[in-house]
Amino acid sequence: MNRIILVGNGFDLAHGLKTRYEDFINWYFEQLKKKLAYYDYSNYEDGFCTLQVNFEMCGVSSWRNFIHPNKHKIFKMGVNAFLEFLDYHKKRQDINATYQSLFKLICMSISSKGWVDIENDYYELLKRTVNNPENNFDQDGNEDYKNVDTLHQQLTKLQGLLSTYLKSVQDVAGNDLTIASLNDIINEPIRRCDIATQSTSIFNKEVEHEIKGDSFDFMSLLPKLEPASTAIAENCKTITENRKQIERQRQILNQQDLNVKNILILDFNYTNTTDKYKQTTIHIHGKLDTPKSIIFGYGDELDENYKKLSNLNDNRYLTNMKSIRYLESGNYRDMLRFINAAPYQIYIMGHSCGNSDRTLLNTLFEHENCVSIKPFYYQKDEENDNYSEITQNISRNFTNMQSFRDKVVNKTLCEPMPQIQI
């Protein structure tokens, strides 16, 4: 029986890497504030925002002079506070500020929810281009988006900046950052109590197979039991060597667990954190080291709006759909070969199981060879964790809810995701 380790951003976070989308946006604004503080011109543009100082209203001709009186205060501002600062001066007509549509939606998500899912925000704007084709302006009268091509350009530019940020985080992390207890969990036996009831017979067959594979025919030793001490010694040695096999049989029968035959880490991140655990790894969305391999977009073919996009008969709307971009490499087929080869258990480590990966996750979860789905949750404090949130998200990746309730391991048998001790 095999195991798939399903890895998402929480895996990087557990290793101390600041790889949240919120971390990325915070980093962008920290860089922006530093640039503006020493910018000797009135017009600033970087593809994400356009900022202009209005000399007639505020009496200064550059961003350096505009920022200088409040520089120390501004440098301490978080994203929301800094955006409020810009908005305040925009209403006073001291400055003009416009934002690209995708970037603005991301900032609004952080402001309203405290977190952001960039891929989901992209999909929301993509749907708007279909559902409201004439509405090209936001509530402030700023140009929102022109067409789907403009939106794709925005996503590409954002992907490039995100890659730059994640590379800097990866470089700081180093090459030997691992969690010993996490490595033990990855390699631990498969327990009967984790297995779905509908897959009990599969587990039993694997147990029988392992017992037969470990068995030793002691009757074959009898003819060899000669009076000569040498022969007896040799046979005693043989018996001793096989005691481990006998003990393994006893362990299987008593504890009812199985050794994992093959382990596959299915990594949805772009970083190299999982490579340090020396397991077979598929970077399904590509790696920072090979920029052309990176897949950044949306992947929910089960969504009703996806059917709308597909029925438009306009390939531009499918450009950044993950399920299509998977064909650009052999990674997806390698995954299929693994799940088709033998029964497997899924360990979820740091993956939210959100809708942006629903097509692929549905393939994994509802496959007949999937016998168990075990989430490792984040322990926020003594009383709070995100087990319920993860399982709710997992449920959306199923079309058969009976199978969902059977395959997902209950909380009493699950445990928190190990975190690095800094």
Domain boundaries, given as residue ranges, for the chain? 2-17+180-200+259-295+323-413, 21-173, 210-251
Q: Tell me how far apart the alpha carbons of residues 361 and 405 are, in angstroms, rounded to a whole number.
A: 16
For the segment 67-77, what is each residue's pLDDT rounded down to a tens digit?
999 999 999 99
Q: Is the pLDDT of residue 235 over 70?
A: no
**Average pLDDT in the 240-251 region?**
61
Mean pLDDT (the chain) is 88
* pLDDT for 184: 95
Give the mean model confidence (pLDDT) for residues 219-224.
49
Question: Whole-prediction pTM value?
Answer: 0.86
**Tens digits of per-residue pLDDT, 33-45?**
999 999 999 999 9
Q: Inform me whether the pLDDT recorded for 111 exceeds 90.
A: no
Distance CA 116, CA 26 (A): 12
What percentage of the chain exceeds 90 in pLDDT? 71
User: How many C-beta atoms lie closer than 10 Å to residue 308's C-beta?
Assistant: 13
Q: What pLDDT is stored for residue 410 in this prediction? A: 97
**Distance separating alpha carbons of residues 162 and 269, to the nearest angstrom:** 12
Mean pLDDT in residue range 266-280: 96
Q: What are phi and psi of 260, to 5 degrees?
A: -75, 130
Q: What is the mean pLDDT of residues 248-270?
A: 80
Written as one letter, the residue type at 364 is: L
Residues 230, 237: Cα–Cα separation, whole Å: 11
pLDDT score recorded for residue 294: 95
Is residue 115 very low, low, confident or very high in pLDDT (cuts 50, 70, 90)?
confident
pLDDT given at position 110:
84
Confidence at residue 232, expressed as pLDDT on a 0 to 100 scale = 55
